[in-house]
Chains A and B, each alone.
Chain A
Amino acid sequence: MFEARLVQSAILKKVLEAIKDLLTEATFDCSDSGIQLQAMDNAHVSLVSLNLRSDGFDKYRCDRNLSMGMNLGNMTKIMKCAGAEDTVTMKAQDNADVVAFMFESKNQEKVSDYEMKLMNLDQEHLGIPETDYSCIVKMPSQEFARICRDLSQFGESMAISCTKEGVKFSSAGDIGSANIKLAQTANVDAEEEAVVIEMQEPVSLTFACRYLNSFTKATPLSAQVQLSMSADVPLVVEYKIGELGHIRYYLAPKIED
């Protein structure tokens, strides 16, 4: 028996919005420790890694490990049926071929039950090596989304260069070029507005804008985003999901042909 309850269904809605650009279907691996999802996009350029800890749920029970393959378009249709203030409970029996979603309004005046058929998906788990990143940038997630959107107008790719002075985002194409520099913030009132750079060595990497823009669909989940970079390895873009967990995106760089 698996059961996971979240008072704020809005979090699950946002998680879904954050992954459905990159993935059409995915397996949710449920265990005693929580729910995990790891999947690559079709082109094998990016990877989504979602971790929702069991202790972050308002109720959580998972007697046996369970892998639930879901079509994310169909899951989105069902999650759209939940009111913003509703509580959501996901339930499945052991070895079930369906997952149940129950939405309850405040005071349980309205209770809606939906069942979705599960799919058998080929699981392609990747081992992600432990990496000591040369640069870790923490910045406001909305600022990052804005930069990705703005620079996408100039070219398909953007370079991210990090030194201890700051981080520079640049793009160039037919219409011209764009450069955005962000300095580390000296002192800010709100922690979430800060730009913080931890640098061991300067790094400059180039990435496809299309994927970065897809990652920024996670912006509503967190006020801050963390970019981890080392020369010639995939970028990690991480959004914390409150006390519940995190979503990490890995993106392979574009390299000199």
Chain B
Amino acid sequence: KRKQVSLLNFFKKS
């Protein structure tokens, strides 16, 4: 089973 990850795991708030 795959789970959706958040974009925030990859991109940082600037």
Interface residues of A (CB under 8 A from B): 40, 43-47, 124-129, 157, 206, 208, 233-234, 250-257
Find residues 1-14 in chain B having any chain A CB closer than 8 Å to their own CB: 1-14
Residue contact A255 to B5, C-beta cutoff 8 Å: yes
CB-defined contacts of B11 to chain A, threshold 8 Å: 47, 126-129, 234, 250
Residue contact A126 to B7, C-beta cutoff 8 Å: yes
CB-defined contacts of B7 to chain A, threshold 8 Å: 40, 44-47, 126, 234, 250-252
Question: Which secondary structure dominates where chain B touches chain A?
Answer: mixed
CB-defined contacts of A234 to chain B, threshold 8 Å: 7, 10-11
Complex: A43 Cα to B6 Cα, angstroms? 8
CB-defined contacts of B6 to chain A, threshold 8 Å: 43-45, 252
Complex: A211 Cα to B13 Cα, angstroms? 22
Complex: A46 Cα to B10 Cα, angstroms? 11
Shortest Cβ distance from A128 into B: residue: B11
Complex: A47 Cα to B8 Cα, angstroms? 10
